[in-house]
Amino acid sequence: MLALAALGLGWWRVDGPGAPARPVPTAVADIGGSFQLVDHTGRSLTDADFRGRPAAVFFGFTYCPEVCPTTLFELSKYLDQLGAAGERLQVLFVTVDPERDNPEQLALYLQSFNPRIVGLTGTPEQVSKALAAYKAYAKKVPTESGYTMDHTASVFLMGSDGRFRSMIDYHEAESSALAKLRLLLQ
């Protein structure tokens, strides 16, 4: 029993919400970088347009049956729970399916979530460049009715300087995700 308590305390201090800030290893410090995409209103934007404020970046697609709507719902909820402090946080939903996700499709899809979430799309080449910059994964998978997309399910947390800070994993506990977001906003 004592060993379990020590293990739990060790996790809390090393990786949990009570963990002190640690330097990001060089291998992960390279996450993020330049991109040029179009938002859900049709504006052309680059990574520089999002500097100066922290960001939560999620790669997904509008035809996604589970991971994407769940993640965007959770991010919407976190924005509400963060209150005034959360107003500084930018949430970016970058499509991994530019063939179907044009600005109009993104705008329609995002109506179901917090209005502060920005949808981004582009040409297949532009989206591939953004995926590569974030070291994210996406692959078209054939289905009987067409195709779906397999993709990274984590949210990248980027500092106001555009540098990688942390990730929120799919199905991560709400308390842990909120702790990471609060730390990002400090």
pLDDT at position 30 is: 86
pLDDT of 6 over the 50 cut = no
Structural domains in the chain, CATH included, are 29-185 (3.40.30.10)
pLDDT at position 14 is: 44
Alpha-carbon distances, residue 86 vs 1, 23, 90, 132 (angstroms)? 39, 23, 9, 28
Query: pLDDT tens across 28-84, in order?
Result: 668 999 999 999 999 999 999 999 999 999 999 999 999 999 999 999 999 999 999
Distance CA 180, CA 1 (A): 29
The single-letter DSSP state of residue 73 is H
pLDDT at position 22 is: 52
pLDDT of 11 over the 60 cut = no
Query: pLDDT tens across 105-142, in order?
Result: 999 999 999 999 999 999 999 999 999 999 999 999 99
Predicted TM-score (pTM) of the model is 0.85
Alpha-carbon distances, residue 105 vs 23, 83, 129, 139 (angstroms)? 39, 29, 21, 20
